[in-house]
Structure 1
Amino acid sequence: MGGVSIVAHPYDMFRSAIKPDILTTMPDAIEVINSASILHSVTWKRARTFAEEKQLPQTAGSDSHIPETIGKAFTTIECESKTIASVLDAIRNGATTPDGQAYSLGDRLRKLARRK
């Protein structure tokens, strides 16, 4: 269908996620930075190690549910043009640079306060 498959927040200990080591088919990329991960120093390292061992492209996401956390983590994609096809090809080819930071305690408290 032309899309890309990216395993989101693998190895996260407090949210359900696909554990990449049990996959029988490899995804197109692995999210190695997720701002919402609580034990981010552990989960990010495990995800990055897996992606490097399998030579998979790496991405990042803020997993934002409130405006204040949008962009806490992001993926820079180097592509030839801004077309969907070019962006997807760049992800598949590993022309990505994940970056970002974990939510602060204040971010987490704001997110909890807005739950209903």
Structure 2
Amino acid sequence: MFDVDLHAHTRFFHWAAGRPTAYDPVGARALAAMSRQRGLDGVALTNHDYYRALSAGGDTPVFLPGVEVSTTRGHALVVGPDPPTATNPRAMTPAQVVSMAHDRGCAAIIPHPYRRGTVLDAEADFDAVEINGKHPSSADRVRRLADDLDLPIVAGSDAHFPFEAGRAYTRIDADELTPEAVVEAIRDGRVEPKVNPVPGHRLLQRAYHYVHLAKRRTSRESLLPGGW
């Protein structure tokens, strides 16, 4: 049995286009240090639209390959042995992302289903749905959704800052902590979501709310004539 955060990032907010940055190794070490403190066995690195293999600086936690893909209808998590190293934001439909994930031996997960996006309305054969650490209050809705879709439930912190690691994670019933074993456990439903909000969670939620409002405003302005 392993405790794994299936949704984490090595950089602060994703203002720039999804691509590796010089900060990633630093963010990975900080994420690993906090994850060790929280008792996690593994963490999936799911940066936006790119995957880069990084060192945890020790035997634990085990870093699992992953990517958070920006589809035409919102985000989708791809976790497993061979995620794409780069994806073109908003170029693939959810169904195409799921197909790509399965071709690469990965699991495809619906993250934060009740945040922005319409991934839920897409006809795509996802492997699981996520309880997101940023939105633990939606856990009951996610459970009802999982029942409707007949899908297992996983959980991930969606950490952008290291101290957020482990605020939600997945207990995985597997004999070994490898990408292949994790994918198999997700597909078999041998997973259990756990939520453990970090101190100051409500204040952090409010901060995220304003950050996402600013991002949406910036995105709209960039579409105007003369915008960037």
Category of TM-score, reference length = shorter chain:
0.7 to 0.9
Question: Aligned letter for 2:187?
Answer: R
Structure 1: give runs of 5+ residues left out of the alignment: none
Residues 1:61 and 2:61 aligned together: no
Structure 2 counterpart of 1:78: 173
List runs of 5+ in structure 2 lacking aligned partners: 1-103, 212-228
Please state how far the C-alpha of 1:102 moved relative to its aligned partner: 4.4
Q: Cα distance 1:19–1:84, how it changes in 2: closer, same or farther (>3 A)?
A: closer
- In the other structure, the counterpart of 1:25 is 124
SS in 2 for 1:52: helix
CA RMSD of aligned residues (A): 2.3
Q: Deviations over 1:84-109 (max 9, x none)?
A: 21111001111100011446134347
Give the Å deviation of 1:81.
Answer: 2.0
Measure the CA separation in 2 of the matches of 1:27 and 1:36. Answer: 21
Give me the whole-angstrom Cα distance separating, in 2, the residues matched to 1:48 and 1:74.
15
Is the 1:73–1:101 Cα contact (8 Å) retained in structure 2?
Answer: yes
Q: Which has the higher contact order (CA 8 A, sep 6+)?
A: 1
- CA deviations on 1:45-92 (whole Å, 9 max, x unpaired) are 222111112220111111111122111000011012222211110011
Change (3 A) 1:50 1:105: closer
Identity %: 31
2:114 alignment partner in structure 1: 11
TM-score, scaled relative to structure 1: 0.76
Amino acid at match of 2:168: A
Where 1:5 maps in the other structure, the secondary structure is strand
Mapped to 1, the partners of 2:172 and 2:147 lie a distance apart of 18
In the aligned structure 1, how far is the partner of 2:159 from the partner of 2:112?
Answer: 13
Dislocated runs of 4+, deviation >3 Å: 106-113
Q: Larger C-alpha radius of gyration, 1 or 2? A: 2
Distance 1:10 1:70 in 2: 20
Q: State how many pairs are aligned.
A: 105
Q: TM-score, normalised by structure 2?
A: 0.41
Q: Tell me, in whole angstroms, the C-alpha distance in 1 between the residues paired with 2:195 and 2:105.
A: 28
Q: Is the 8 A contact 1:8 1:17 kept in 2?
A: no
